């Protein structure tokens, strides 16, 4: 291994001077920071970004968008999923994401029949992540019913479905694959419930019991839309997060995706049990979902990170910036995401994205301990900012992170390393040309059909 010397390297919430980082290529950097985990992804949806922006109903909402998404999802097979995911993961790396949670529910053929290998679609994602060089937390998703009332899956949902036994067999198969993957621990498998409306209580309990004691993250969509909250109240006489905290052993293994519509008691309840929240600001805005109660959650000591979800944006900077801006628009004040001991908005946003990302992905974050850049048990996942960019000229430790996040829309990430291996140089993924060529052909085929 070679070494990269960073004039300024971020770790443990502060800048450290003249730090050496183990890499596969020697070099230097003015500003080096741990890469950001992406807590929530539906990879196939990247291919439909911008294709659901025409009004189809005066009451357009998440629920009408979902019908468009179902039609697009029906077009995918293993190869097209791999091609789209590889392009997306390369884009993520170029933007500064170094690991991703893939919330995966396209399990079967479009007509609902399992592939000869029931893990074929999952393994297509594993191969895409391997090719791109990103850390992958694969979350095979249990999807059983079409609503809180237990109705069967609709025709276009059939390819998502499993019974509990079939789902656990898939998880076991992927865990075995993980155990035989030797690429510096870049694959982690977790368990995942699509939502409370899609997984009955008994099934959730059976999966949690079967995986008890295993080092696996647990993810679930929850309280994303007002309609979901209303349906939960009507059928279960409880709000979704209220019900979950009361009925399930929610703890620091759990990541609640969106959790947009919360009472103050629910907000503090999530923080109190140690659970994590995946906030997907650009998708939540695109779908008209609502705004997460960030200030209350911060004051309660809550843990959170960001995800790009439907990938109408693939930029951690945009997720963080618009998370803060949404709060400002509601509060009509500035610098909301701060804490008494951390008054830089950018640093507070970034520090939470790292810490919450580590919880949700179970992937390493923070690539050295104290002054030792080569500490055992760490993984050198980091990005280097472009110090020649006008936005960063004259930057100092006191303002470098703020200037990165709040200085505009140009990507300021120059280089990216995962496990010490350089995957992005000069802002470009090392395999972009080959990956983009396949993606272009696949997208043309998807759109033509």
Q: What is the pLDDT of residue 373?
A: 42
Query: H/E element holding 141?
Result: strand 135-142
Q: What is the pLDDT of residue 378?
A: 66
Q: What is the pLDDT of residue 329?
A: 96
Looking at 327-426, which runs of residues are DSSP E strands? Answer: 382-385, 413-418, 421-425
Parts of the chain with a pLDDT under 50: 368-376
Active site residue 231: no
Q: Which of 402, 308, 322 is nearest to 357 (CA)?
A: 308
Q: What is the pLDDT of residue 63?
A: 78
Q: What is the pLDDT of residue 25?
A: 83
CB atoms within 10 A of CB 232: 23
**Domains of the chain, each with CATH number or no CATH:** 2-434 (3.20.20.140)
The secondary structure of residue 25, as a DSSP letter, is S
Strand 191-193 versus strand 36-41 pairing type: unpaired
Q: Which of 309, 386, 402, 415 is catalytic?
A: 309
Strand 135-142 versus strand 191-193 pairing type: parallel
3-state SS, residue 164: helix
* H-helix segments, 96-225: 120-132, 164-179, 201-210
Active site residue 12: no
State CA 140 to chain mean position distance.
14
Q: Which of 8, 194, 258, 352 is catalytic?
A: 258
Strand 421-425 versus strand 428-429 pairing type: antiparallel
Q: Give me 136's structure tokens.
A: 């992958």
Q: What is the pLDDT of residues 390-423, one digit of tens each?
A: 999 999 999 999 999 999 899 999 999 998 999 9
Q: What is the pLDDT of residue 368?
A: 45
Query: H/E element holding 438?
Result: helix 432-448
pTM attached to this predicted model: 0.96
């Amino acid at each position: 291994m070679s070494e990269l010397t960073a004039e300024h390297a971020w770790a443990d919430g502060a800048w450290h001077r003249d730090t050496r980082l183990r890499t596969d290529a020697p070099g230097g950097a003015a500003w080096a920071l741990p890469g950001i985990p992406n807590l929530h992804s539906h990879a196939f949806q990247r291919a439909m970004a911008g294709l659901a922006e025409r009004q189809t109903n005066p009451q357009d909402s998440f629920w009408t968008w979902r019908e468009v998404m179902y039609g697009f999802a029906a077009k995918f097979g293993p190869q097209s999923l791999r091609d789209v995911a590889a392009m997306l993961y390369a884009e993520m790396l170029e933007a500064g994401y170094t690991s991703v949670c893939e919330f995966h529910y396209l399990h079967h053929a479009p007509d609902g029949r399992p592939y000869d290998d029931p893990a074929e679609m999952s393994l297509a994602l594993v191969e895409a992540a391997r090719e791109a060089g990103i850390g992958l937390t694969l979350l095979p998703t249990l999807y059983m019913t079409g609503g809180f009332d237990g109705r069967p899956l609709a025709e276009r949902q059939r390819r998502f479905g499993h019974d509990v036994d079939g789902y656990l067999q898939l998880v076991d198969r992927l865990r075995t694959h993980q155990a035989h993957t030797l690429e510096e621990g870049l694959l982690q498998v977790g368990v995942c419930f699509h939502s409370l409306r899609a997984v009955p209580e008994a099934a959730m309990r059976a999966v949690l019991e079967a995986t008890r004691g295993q080092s696996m993250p647990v993810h679930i969509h929850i309280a994303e839309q007002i309609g979901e909250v209303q349906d939960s109240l009507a059928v279960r006489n409880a709000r979704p997060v209220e019900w979950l905290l009361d009925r399930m052993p929610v703890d620091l293994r759990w990541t609640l995706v969106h959790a947009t519509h919360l009472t103050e008691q629910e907000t503090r309840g999530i923080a109190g049990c140690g659970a994590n929240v995946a906030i997907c600001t650009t998708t939540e805005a695109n779908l008209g979902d609502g705004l997460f109660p960030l200030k209350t959650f911060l004051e309660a000591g809550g843990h959170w990170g960001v995800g790009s979800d439907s990938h109408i944006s693939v930029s951690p900077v945009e997720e963080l910036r618009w998370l803060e801006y949404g709060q400002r628009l509601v509060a009509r004040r500035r610098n909301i995401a701060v804490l008494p001991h951390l008054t830089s908005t950018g640093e507070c946003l970034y520090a939470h994205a790292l810490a919450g990302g580590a919880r949700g992905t179970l992937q390493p974050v923070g690539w050295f301990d104290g002054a030792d850049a080569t500490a055992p048990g760490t993984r050198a996942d980091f990005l280097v900012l472009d110090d020649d960019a006008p936005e960063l000229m004259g930057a100092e430790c006191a303002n470098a992170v703020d200037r990165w996040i709040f200085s505009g829309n140009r990507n300021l990430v120059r280089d990216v390393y995962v496990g010490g291996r350089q995957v992005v140089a000069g802002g470009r993924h090392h395999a972009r040309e080959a990956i983009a060529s396949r993606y272009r052909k696949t997208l043309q085929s998807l759109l033509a059909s």
